[in-house]
Amino acid sequence: MALSGFTVEFTSPVSATKLFNAGIIDGRNLGPKFMPQVIESFVILEGDGGVGTIQQFNFTDAMPIKYAKERVDILDKENLEYKYTLIERWSTWQESGMGQQPHYVGVR
């Protein structure tokens, strides 16, 4: 298994708490509303949205990825930390035989 990760840091006039709440906590609801051309739907497959939850993003035909399943590893609202593991995805690359490598992605 290949491991990878990334950190995103930027300056914003909006507070870190508001960005975290909009992007992580409410992102499940806001993503399909703000980006309907990209995100078709969001489904919680297991859990309540907290640590251990398995969730699936379904993408539109505009994207090369059909869906992505993630497991929530860390959800710390106080410290604004969110980490998840990509556990499955299906893309047009897989249909072409190019395959995929499982990897870890953390967002904080």
pLDDT digits (tens, 9 = 90+) for 8-62: 777 889 999 999 999 999 988 999 999 999 999 999 999 999 999 999 999 999 9
Q: Report d(CA 44, CA 85) in Å as an integer.
A: 15
User: What is the per-residue pLDDT across 78-100, written as a single tens digit (0 to 9) for each?
Assistant: 999 999 988 988 876 555 454 44
Stretch 62-84: mean pLDDT, rounded? 92
pTM for this structure? 0.75
Domain annotation for the chain: domains and CATH numbers: 16-107 (3.30.530.20)
Stretch 66-85: mean pLDDT, rounded? 92
The whole-number pLDDT of residue 92 equals 67
Complete DSSP assignment for 38-76: TEEEEEEEESSSSTT-EEEEEE-TTSSEEEEEEEEEEEE
